[in-house]
Amino acid sequence: MRKLLLSTVAAAGTLLAAGAAHAQAASPVAPGTVKVHLNGYLQYMFGVVGGNGMSGGSGATSYKNNSLGTIGDVRLYPGFDGMTTNGIAYGAQVELRTALSSANGNGVNGNSASSNGVNGLYVRRAYGYLGTAEYGYARFGQTDGAFTLMQYGVIEQFGDGAQWTADGGLINLLPSGHPGNFIYADQGALYTTDKIVYISPSIQDPVLDGKFGFIVSFEPNSNGIKEGASAISSSSSELNSAVAGGSASRRRNTFDAMAGYSVKAGAFDTKLSVGYLRSSPLGNTTGAQAYSPMGVFQAGIQTTITGLFTNADNITLGANVKSGSVVDGYQFKKKGGRDAMAYIVGASYVNGPYALGASFFDSQEANGKVGAEVQGHTLSEYGVAVGANYVVAKPMSLFVQYMYGNVHGSTATTLPHGNSHAQGVAAGATIKW
């Protein structure tokens, strides 16, 4: 569901991210007018989960998690789209989500009288845009960059709509020990930072009748829209405290660029893209810099075939690969660690109100313990997701989903030989308006 906001420029016909089935399509705006909208999203599910992380602790602090659980999410999308009398499109979009709360059992969404509970909404995305179909569009604010917007081949449009990168999805019910990932570029580590993005116009290919396009973005640091300080120091406590040896997650001067091509030939609608993301770790306050610069290559392809079995069905096949100096969550790897390599393959089938989908990803990366023999120096992870949906009405669909994930080479000393796994099955409903 993260692509609900990849909307305003998509409506203008430029090349954007794969998975636009969940994009919030902007309605056409007449010159000299403005349209205000307040869209929303609610998802709820009941699940059964299991795995290595179902119990822990010892003695008086031992615990055992319940294998049955519920999870959900609510989001609001206030914004507007406008058009000047001379054809320049402009607007703004905000994404609000429910805040995470502690499970203390003392009231709605935690205990509002205690610091252990949190109530209310928080800003996940907030950006403005300006441009035309002929010259391209500029976005500015806390929003998706090139690496996310043109991520082709990552099939997520089934089940809860996000699988291994969900917020409020089945993954949040799974016990600890499930895989992290960097194969999904549509994750908060990349899209919740303040940046400037340029989305090119579509360029017609006269030979194959396809369309070229590209997206570039620049992020000075990994702050949000309301965080101004750009370095770690003891005086910037609102961002982070002083860190010896640097920070694994605080970025500076992040640049990413993606080029894409789409072509329709008969029943086949094919999209492919390739690009690169580059970033440097913040300067450390004491000691030598512990982290290597981030450099990640991405390539993806997907094709949708219509009318395969009936006049109303379509099947989408996709694959995506990412490789480079990075670890899970788009953090910096320690110096001396191996480069990461990951791929994902997936497919979805839609026929009227019914949909089926499945995906599999596998990744190898540095395990974070460079120089220490902890299960070697490689963290291996893979995950499977399978789901089915039934659209009751356009705003509402029902779904079932199964997920299984495995981690090998973890640095966690509580896991046998550094291995862990988690799995779960859930049924739920998604409502969009």
Residues 298, 339: contact at Cβ < 8 Å?
no
Which domains are present in the chain? 2-432 (2.40.160.10)
| pLDDT of 369 higher than 60 | no
62-82 burial, b at 16+ Cβ within 10 Å, e below that, comes to eeebeeebebbbebebebbbb
**C-alpha distance across the termini of the chain, in Å:** 13
Residue 33's identity, in one-letter code, is T
Strands, E assignment, 165-232: 194-199, 203-204, 211-221
Note the pLDDT of residue 215.
97
| pLDDT of 383 higher than 80 | yes
Strands, E assignment, 99-210: 121-132, 136-142, 194-199, 203-204
Note the pLDDT of residue 285.
63
Residues 69, 49: contact at Cβ < 8 Å?
yes
Residue 306's identity, in one-letter code, is T
pLDDT band for position 371 (cuts 50, 70, 90)? very low
Compute the distance between CA of residue 300 and CA of residue 313 in angstroms, rounded to an integer: 23
pLDDT digits (tens, 9 = 90+) for 266-315: 899 999 999 999 999 887 666 778 889 999 999 999 999 999 888 889 99
Helices H, strands E: what count in the chain? 2, 19
Q: Which two tokens stand for residue 273?
A: 């893209």
pLDDT digits (tens, 9 = 90+) for 162-198: 999 988 899 999 988 888 889 999 999 999 999 999 9
> Which has more pLDDT, 233 or 64?
64
pLDDT digits (tens, 9 = 90+) for 307-359: 988 888 999 999 999 999 999 999 999 888 889 999 999 999 999 999 999 99
Average model confidence (pLDDT) for the chain? 83
Compute the distance between CA of residue 92 and CA of residue 81 in angstroms, rounded to an integer: 7
List beta partners, residue 60.
none
| pLDDT of 1 higher than 80 | no
Note the pLDDT of residue 96.
94
| pLDDT of 82 higher than 60 | yes
pLDDT digits (tens, 9 = 90+) for 15-45: 223 333 333 435 678 999 999 999 999 999 9
Phi, psi of 264 (to 5 degrees): -110, 130
Note the pLDDT of residue 28.
73
Q: Which two tokens stand for residue 278?
A: 């580059």
Classified as helix, coil or strand, 20 is helix
| Closest to 23 measured CA to CA, from 8, 13, 40, 44 | 8
| Closest to 133 measured CA to CA, from 80, 210, 204, 34 | 204
Note the pLDDT of residue 118.
55
Note the pLDDT of residue 55.
73
- Enclosing H/E stretch for 169: none
| pLDDT of 373 higher than 50 | no
Q: What's the rounded mean pLDDT across residues 421-432?
A: 95
Q: What's the rounded mean pLDDT across residues 386-415?
A: 86
Compute the distance between CA of residue 294 and CA of residue 278 in angstroms, rounded to an integer: 6
